A and B are shown apart, each in its own frame.
Chain A
Amino acid sequence: MSNDGTIHARGIRKSFGYKTVLQNIDLDIACGEVCCIIGPSGSGKSTLLRCINGLETVDSGVLKVNGEDFGYYETDTAYHALSPKKVAAQRTRVGMVFQQFNLFPNMTAQENVMSGPVLVKGTHKKQAAERAQELLASVGLGAFGDRYPAQLSGGQQQRVAIARSLAMDPEIMLFDEPTSALDPEKVGEVLAVMQDLAKKGMTMVVVTHEMGFAREVSDTLLFMDEGVIVERGAPREVLANPKERRTQAFLKQVL
């Protein structure tokens, strides 16, 4: 059975110095599943996401992405770090969308989308350009390929960023508060693109404060606080009838 598009984590621990930011995280995400993570800031939800993409390394625990140990290989006694080349190869299968978009300002929208395939996979430029154009069209920006990021609105930039990640044909897409830096009017256009992606069967992990999106689109919802997963379940269930005190208190504030 193929494990593509799955995430499996058991007992993940991560600390920055003395501060423990993730502890005892168990996670199982199936192929095509959409998982939303909510929680207050500093609860470790972004760190968890960044671990799945290798921007942070976990201190201990099992982390399998697409069925492979991420960033490490396992021997009888320990996990050994993989070479940068192999980590990079694993990363190409996991797309990441950032809160601050992080488009390359020295490249046009199209060049941004092409950057992964051309610079990393060595795809032919012409082919990559065609694919980039298709992807930009699919996020509603077909006519904006020659614009530079500074000439695009926040919502447009974020859609280009999504297209850039998709250009690598990832099995999993991670979204780190993709709409938090946008003005309220532009949130909808980004969420629409994400909803579209979810319908197409992409495995998605979304850290978000958009409760409406979490309710409508996600299959599972995690509530995190102080580095642990406090509550998890079907989104409607968790949002309507939270069982834990902490979840109730949080939802009371945000809903």
Chain B
Amino acid sequence: MVQTISHGSGNKIDRTDPALKPRLRRRGVFEYVAWVVCGLIGAGVLVSVSTNPNFKWDVVAKYFTYETIINGLMLTIFLTVASMFLGTLLGLGLAIMRSSRIKPVALTAGVYITLFRGTPVLVQLIFWFNIAALYPNLTIGIPFTNISTAVDVNAVMGPITAALIGLSLNQAAYMAEIIRGGFSAVGKGQIEAADSLGMSGATKMRKVIIPQAMPSIIPATGNQFIGMFKETSLVSVLGVAELLQSAQLIYARTYETIPLLIVASLWYLVMTLLLSYPQSLLEKRYSRATSSLPRKAKKIVLTEPEGVAR
């Protein structure tokens, strides 16, 4: 960096060429204060957590891979995947209904979305668990005939079924809004172009609207997935032995409440971090700035001369 620059007179002065000098960021007083304060807080928390014997880290370690906990984790994963899958399918249907030109269809979807987004999931879960109070017997039959079977709703609506139905139906309402948002991001001109070629509604949806809506739907769906993973802890109120409930069952017996809650929290944290990575990849891939080109097209370099009309 240091260069010798000779001046006309012949004096030689050692100094850095101004063009090569680095430009330094300004650090205010606040920045130094922030380092010190945050560092102190961090150290305080760390010391407290590691020295307080009530955390019982040995108990945490013991139960971290305990069979009941792992089974609970598996059930949590199952509930997440299953309710996201069902919720997305139903949500797609609702989104298509919501954008329908036929008023009653759009209105039905609208009412559904309002109801399920406007009430707490916890309430919905308890509601589905107790649905038998409203409809004790479900009769499945062919109209105008005597062929029918009665089903005892109480027997069918076990805790896991109620959990799955509650989470899926709730998720569907959110997914419907995400998917509809994606649809409306597709330009009006695209739909007109498809119309002018004489495409049918279904073809238009499949080949024009959905492929172009994906870039805005996929990252949001990833977020929902992570959210759903944590949301499943709510179904513990129904007595479903998912991750949180498994932890609760153990500490109800051993009174080691805090260590077991830490075990559950650590698993939620680990899974969320594991899911965050693919989520951030998805977000990058579908980020607005680069989505104008389909993925496979990005390798092609524009070097050839332009074609000229005859």
Contact = CB atoms under 8 A, between A and B. Distances in A.
A104 B300 contact: no
Interface stretch (B163-171, B207-215, B223-231): B207-215
Contacts of A53: 196
Given A156-B306, A190-B309, A100 B300 contact: no
Given A116-B197, A142-B307, A151 B189 contact: no
B59 interface: no
Interface stretch (A4-12, A22-30, A91-99, A232-240): A91-99
A153 interface: yes
Nearest to A121: B198
Interface string A113-149: 0011001100000000000000000111111101110
A104 B190 contact: yes
Nearest to B189: A102
B293 interface: yes
Contacts of A161: 193
Contact of B195 (A55, A115, A142, A146): A55
- Most chain B Cβ neighbours within 10 Å, of A94, A120, A144: A120
A161 B192 CA distance: 13
B203 A119 contact: yes
B302 A105 contact: no
B306 A164 contact: no
B308 interface: yes
A164 B293 contact: no
B197 A164 contact: yes
A139 B308 CA distance: 8
A98 B193 contact: yes
A92 B294 CA distance: 28
Contacts of B193: 96, 98, 102-104, 161
B294 A105 contact: yes
Interface in A143-196: 143-144, 146-148, 150-151, 153, 155-156, 159, 161, 164-165, 168, 188-190, 192-193, 196
B204 to A, nearest CB: 9
A151 B201 contact: no
Contacts of A148: 293-294, 297
B271 interface: no
Interface in A50-95: 53-55, 84-85, 88-89, 91-92, 94-95
A2 interface: no
B14 interface: no
B300 A84 contact: no
Contact of B309 (A92, A100, A139): A139
A115 B207 contact: yes
A106 interface: yes
Contact of B211 (A106, A150, A156): A106
Contacts of A150: 292-293, 297
A96 B193 CA distance: 8
A92 B300 CA distance: 33
Nearest to A190: B309
Nearest to B197: A116
Given A91-B195, A98-B192, A106-B212, A120 B304 contact: no
Contacts of A144: 307
A193 B307 contact: no
Given A106-B211, A119-B207, A150-B297, A192 B196 contact: no
B196 A104 contact: no
A102 B190 contact: yes
Given A96-B196, A159-B309, 18 more contacts: A85-B200, A88-B198, A88-B200, A91-B196, A94-B196, A98-B189, A104-B212, A106-B294, A116-B198, A120-B197, A138-B310, A144-B307, A147-B300, A151-B300, A159-B307, A165-B197, A193-B310, A196-B310
Interface of B: 187, 189-190, 192-201, 203, 207-208, 211-212, 292-294, 297, 300, 302, 304, 306-310
25 contacts: A53-B196, A55-B195, A55-B196, A85-B200, A89-B198, A91-B195, A96-B196, A104-B190, A104-B193, A105-B292, A105-B293, A105-B294, A106-B212, A139-B309, A140-B308, A143-B304, A147-B297, A156-B307, A159-B309, A168-B197, A168-B198, A189-B308, A189-B309, A192-B310, A193-B310
In order of increasing CB-CB distance, the 8 nearest A-B pairs are A102-B193, A96-B196, A88-B198, A92-B198, A189-B309, A102-B189, A140-B309, A116-B197
